[in-house]
Amino acid sequence: MALNETHDLSLTSWVTSANDSATDFPIQNLPVASFRVAGSEQSFRGGVAIGDQIVDLQQLAEKSIFVGLAQDALLACSQEDLNDFMAMGSQAWSALRLALSKALRSDAPEQDIIASCLVAQTDAEFKLPCTIGDYTDFYTSIYHATSVGKLFRPDNPLLPNYKWVPIGYHGRSSSIDVSGQAFHRPCGQTKAPDATEPSFGPCKRLDYELELGIYLGAGNALGDAIAIDDADKHVFGFCLFNDWSARDMQAWEYQPLGPFLAKNFASTVSPWIVSNEALEPYRVAWSRDENDPQPMAYLESEKNRSEGAIDIQLEVLLETEKMRSEGEQAVQLSQSSFKHSYWTVAQMVAHHSVNGCNLKPGDFFGSGTQSGPTHEEAGSLLELSKGGKEAISLPNGETRTFLNDGDNVIMRGYCHKEGHARIGFGEVTSLVLPAKQ
């Protein structure tokens, strides 16, 4: 990946809403999703966001105005799931991005043709953009790991392997759904500290986790490792990811094999995938404290040091049932950045495959909860409420330690820096329903 003409700040679009400085989707972004007109019986198909519109890639493919690899990529995007497009690799992804960028620029000769392929985002509904075969959740924020560790192991918050290994576990892909997901509070076993045996019922400590989702594109053959500097060829793009957690169930069940029912009941992704290429301008240097163990050779490279981190601003907002009924706006709970991650995406890919594990198009990584160095940058209520010991006061007088039924959690993300356009991820929302009993 490298900076190219698609990143040029001076580019504007004939889709005028894309030129608004506050939009998530300027011409420098061009994320993809799977959509259809809301309430219709149309097939889902690929779309690209531009301003407040969506370019219907199936309709555009039928116009045959693109040629070569870009047209081949369009045809792959005409399908309900984008796995085939993901499998085509970075050259195809870049070819389509460049062709769309040129055709959407102000005064582009293709304007009239593409204008006939636009659908307003307000008229659309979304599904998962691809079939997610396997899902691995990492644990890449040392600030989150330390804060949570202090709650359970005050004298030894970080386990010995954390600074050596990009920790992860394999999660459940079947319960991942797209933004707008509403789910019932999970039931399961919990055990109070003073109880002699566990009890069964709805979880009482429901929490969100502010994460990034990483979609894999072209895979690797079983037995072949992906070198750290080749990781970009395999990373298709990024989304916002809320990986819900039932903390009281988790505390009882996680030993000795880790997360299970406390994590597999729901996970929610934003509909748009922001490409790895679109994020190129926002890469920043990654470093490791000189007093910490330095990465092993397969997790180390000059490229990873110079541009392995990405400055993606992330925020969490809460809309309670009372706020909705009284017409009040959601309130921000925290804000952080992905640049604080202890492990980079390239290191995640390299470690996941170093044993010969074969990654496939559409496979999904969770970054782990993204908390920053200050308490206000915590990516979960577990941290913000210090394990439920300190209630969070909301402007309308309500308080929270963990989530109530009727709470709607909203996550947003964006990148911005001098000399480059602001690009956003849209948002991911999900509503907590009462438990089924």
Report the alpha-carbon distance of residue 242 to residue 63 in Å, rounded.
37
Per DSSP, what are the bridge partners of residue 334?
316
- Residue 369 assigned to a binding site: yes
> 340 φ, ψ to 5°?
-80, -5
Q: Which residues are catalytic, by number?
A: 144
Q: How far is CA 384 from the centre of its chain?
A: 21
- Residue 209 assigned to a binding site: yes
- Residue 153 assigned to a binding site: yes
Cis peptide before 256 (omega within 30 of 0): yes
- Residue 250 assigned to a binding site: yes
109-114 LR contacts (CB < 8 Å, sep 24+): 110/65, 111/14, 113/63, 113/65, 114/55, 114/60
- Residue 263 assigned to a binding site: yes
- Residue 417 assigned to a binding site: no
- Residue 290 assigned to a binding site: no
- Residue 254 assigned to a binding site: yes
- Residue 79 assigned to a binding site: no
Residues annotated in a binding site for substrate: 139, 153, 250, 254, 369
Q: Pick out the residues of the known binding site.
A: 137, 139, 153, 209, 211, 243, 250, 254, 263, 267, 369
Residue numbers in the known binding site for Mg(2+) are: 243, 263, 267
Provide the annotated binding site for Ca(2+).
137, 209, 211, 243
